[in-house]
Every structure is written in C-alpha cells, then in structure tokens.
Amino acid sequence: MHYNHIIEAVGHTPLVRLNKVTEGIKGTVLAKVEYFNPGNSVKDRMAIRMVEDAEKAGLLKPGGTIIEGTSGNTGMGLALAAIAKGYKTIFVMSDKQSKEKQDILRAVGAQVVVCPVDVAPDDPRSYYSVARRLNQETPNSFYPNQYDNLSNTAAHYEHTGPEIWAGTEGQITHWAAGVGTGGTICGVSKYLKEQNPSVFTLGLDTYGSVFKKYKETGIFDPNEIYPYKTEGIGEDILPKNVNFDVIDQFIKVTDKDAALMTRRLAKEEGLFVGWSCGSAAFGALEYAREHLQETDTMVVLLPDHGTRYLGKIYNDDWMQAQGWL
C-alpha cells in the first residue's frame, strides 16, 4: 500500500488516552493528536477541502496563486495542497506568530508577508486587509478566507467528526476544542450532535477574545479585545465558521495556564504539542474535574506540534522572562 501524494496521508489521526494530567478526574479523557497529519496540524483537512471546493467552483485555475491570512498552520496545509496540485502560495501572517511558523512555510516554497498584530482588523496594515489587497492585485489568485469559507467547517463535519465518533465507537459524551476560525469545533460538534444530541460541546477561548461573552450575552464587546500571546485561538472578529448554536459552553484559558499545561503534556504524557493544545487541555480538564462521571468519555483535540513553539513556551529563558516559571 502506498500514497500517490503526501496529501493522501492527511487525517485518521490517533486518539490517545491522557493518563497523568487527568489525576482526580472520573471517566476517560482522550486526546485527538493532530500533529500526526503531514502538515503537523489540524488544518490539513480543511486546507485541502478549501482548495478542492474552489477548483470545483472555478475560483482556482491552473497556474493560480493561493493567498491566505494564516497563523501558520492553515498555510502549511495549503502549501501541501498547492504542491500536489501545482499552485503558487503567498501567506500573510501577523508578527505575533512564531518565527518557526514563518520558516516552515518558506521551507515548503511559500512566499511569506509579515504584518503588525497590534492594528484593528479593518486597518489596511492588518493581515486580513493585506491578504485581501494582494488577492485583488495578483492576477489568477484565490483568497480562501478560512474565517468565512464554510468549506472549513465542512471538512471537519465530513472527516474529523466521523473519525472521532468511530474512534470512540460512539461512546463519546463530551467534546472539547479551541476556537479560532471555529471550523474544527463546529464541524465536529454538528456531526456528533447528529449522532447523539446529548454530546456536550465545549469551546476553549482566550482572554482577549470575543467568543465567550458573545455566546453568553449575544453582544460583540470591543472591551473584550486586548493583546494576548496564545497562537491560533481566540479572535477579535466573529468568523462565519463559528456557529454558536452547536457550542454548548465556552471557557477562557490564560496564556500562562496554557503554556504550563502544554509543557506538562510533553513531559508527563509524551505529547510534544503546541501552545493552544495546552489551552484546550487546561480548559477541558477543568470542566472534566467538575462534571465527568466514571462512564463518560471526553475527547479533546490537540491542534499542532511543539516544534513550532521551541523559541517560546519550550524555552526556559523565554518562560522566565514572562514570569511563568
């Protein structure tokens, strides 16, 4: 058996039981470990799906250029799809994202444009605006816009959700994931709730993001928006991929709690994962400690790999400079 191209190896990531960080928790907590994807993140499935849907819709033509605003992982998935299908790639990132993520994208042949993080989304210098402008200026280019492109949620509804349902033999009772574009949590939640409406869905958010307050009050509150350090989750916009109806509850996790939990996942579970994995695990375990029963099975998704954060949360000097060690 062999794959004809690396993108055929995307998906079917393992569920691994958490054994140490779950001390004091009743029930079973399984991690869906997404770094087993060839792009080392949860974004591979949706990147391929956005490209293939755009081809079908005639939005992406031979020789075209894919231009996307990304925190890095979607860029990696798009780059792999572009290599398979013969497209060029330009990625627009904010300067908050780790240097490793920029280097990885360049390593797979992408052009990378870095923009300031501390400007409003509608500022012409923001990475959202620059991606849009480059799309207008570049002939035969396609801007997937992962925030509002519903192919994102569809990929997780069609693949990640069924993988989790089959992997737990339908025994899953609780599902938890961090929320960035919302594609992962909402695609999987919709699928799981269709199989069993009583599956509880938990979204992990950051301090400095609008999601939790919006879910609880219906208010988009600009006072909720302030700088934070965790990469890949939390937003200052409401992406179309976030369907609040299928997310039962949000919990916010601090940068520090997330960083420390990520380091525990590496040392105590052997899961060398990324920073938002610590956010997801910390929030999920906090909920589980209070609510999980012996017979319950929670799945928490760990989005990416630790190599992308070697210069930050896995670096003791950097951690000390934050006052976190």
Rounded least distance, CB 154 to ligand PMP, Å? 12
Nearer to ligand PMP, 64 or 285 (CB): 285
Residues 55-90 as b/e (b if ≥16 CB within 10 A, e otherwise) read beeeebeeebbbbbbbbbbbbbbbbbbbbebebbbb
Nearer to ligand PMP, 161 or 183 (CB): 183
Nearer to ligand PMP, 147 or 165 (CB): 147
Comparing every residue's Cβ against ligand PMP, the nearest one is 232
Rounded least distance, CB 185 to ligand PMP, Å? 6
Q: Which residues bind ligand PMP (CB under 6 A)?
A: 43, 71, 73, 178-185, 231-233, 274, 276, 303-304
The answer to whether 51 touches 318, Cβ cutoff 8 Å, is no
Which position among 20, 26, 32, 43 bears the catalytic label? 43
Nearer to ligand PMP, 174 or 308 (CB): 308
The answer to whether 42 touches 68, Cβ cutoff 8 Å, is no
Three-state secondary structure along the chain? CCCCCHHHHCCCCCEEECCCCCCCCCCEEEEEEHHHCCCCECCHHHHHHHHHHHHHCCCCCCCCEEEEECCCHHHHHHHHHHHHHCCEEEEEEECCCCHHHHHHHHHCCCEEEEECCCCCCCCCCCHHHHHHHHHHHCCCEECCCCCCCCHHHHHHHHHHHHHHHHHCCCCCCEEEEECCCCHHHHHHHHHHHHHCCCCEEEEEEECCCCHHHHHHHCCCCHHHCCCCCCCCCCCCCCCCCCCHHHCCEEEEECHHHHHHHHHHHHHHHCCCECHHHHHHHHHHHHHHHHHCCCCCEEEEEECEEHHHHCCCCCCHHHHHHHCCC
* Tokens, residue 175: 């599902």
Rounded least distance, CB 2 to ligand PMP, Å? 29
Nearer to ligand PMP, 64 or 192 (CB): 192
Nearer to ligand PMP, 36 or 171 (CB): 36
Rounded least distance, CB 46 to ligand PMP, Å? 7
Nearest 5 degrees, angle CA 43-CA 47-CA 49?
120
Nearer to ligand PMP, 208 or 232 (CB): 232
43 catalytic? Reply is yes
Q: Which residues are catalytic?
A: 43
